[in-house]
Structure 1
């Protein structure tokens, strides 16, 4: 009888002990595996290859901005700021959204003769972002002293990443992805 009580007590304690071991919460896993963070991202290399276009795309987990460059990849500085200011004048560029990304591309938007290589029809609305989850506005803040500046209005301060891609051909692309959520 003592053996039965001991076995029952051991079984009870084992079941109770297993109940105390709780697997990690699914909420603790990063959204879509994104672990980028929201701090400044910098690559200090410069290029004389000019910016030729800015475009955007939607993905299941993030919105993407792409800056096309006619040549080798450019350096960059991308960070959240309280306001995006125009190159040279310092005027605030009004942007829609709850947070603002300053995107400095270390490449001009003009060729070696001073001719514009990227001249958007509407510098305040570079891309139609209707229906995007995170992006609210992409605007040009100018090109001065060999660098081009853009403002990105986003829904909130969200994680982002920045990288360059080679191609097509001898061109390259600067890519900025901003997550839909944390």
Structure 2
């Protein structure tokens, strides 16, 4: 009985040793580990604000899917990055500026995005963006997105345009001011 246990223990040890030796030392790590390392953002979920304003109107809103995050882009052609102010943060409910009207946004969390640019021509009052208050954003299809679940237009009041972005959960995000664009990236995971 003792001898058969010794034989089995020796065979198990030999198999484990040979199995480990069969994997090259420079082999790539397991895919899940690679993905997690490649998606490290360090962004956080606290409010992000930059104080500036432009009279240049926004013209479009679009989204994009990436390996580690979903992207929300507001196009403000002609606005330099230093002129484009914003306020982005999680809220319990989205309220329309001016009226205080609540706007339902689907998802596990609501990210309110305000860009300090009107959605109309300030000289004529003519709309430059076709959004309708409390409605999903025109031309934005979130099918297949991992983080984004809903989008809502909340209007433009006193030169500030407001959006609600419904996300799966309160996840880390970053905001980038680029010439002609405000970009909000929301990570798929922590």
Q: TM-score category by the smaller chain?
A: 0.7 to 0.9
Runs of 4+ in structure 1 displaced over 2 angstroms?
120-123
Distance in 1 between the 2:185 and 2:178 partners?
Answer: 13
Structure 2, unaligned runs of 5 or more: 1-32
Which one of 43, 49, 53 corresponds to residue 56 of structure 2? Answer: 49
Q: Residue deviations 1:13-44, cap 9 Å, x none?
A: xxxxxxxxxxxxx69x7661210000000110
Distance in 1 between the 2:167 and 2:136 partners?
Answer: 13
Instruction: Report which of the two has the higher share of strand.
Output: 1
* Count of residue correspondences: 151
Paired residues for 1:3-152 under 5 Å: 32-72=39-79, 73=81, 74-112=84-122, 113-120=124-131, 124-126=135-137, 127-152=140-165
| TM-score (ref. length: structure 1) | 0.78
| TM-score (ref. length: structure 2) | 0.75
RMSD of the alignment, in Å?
1.8
Structure 1, unaligned runs of 5 or more: 1-25, 167-171
Question: 1:119: how far off?
Answer: 1.4
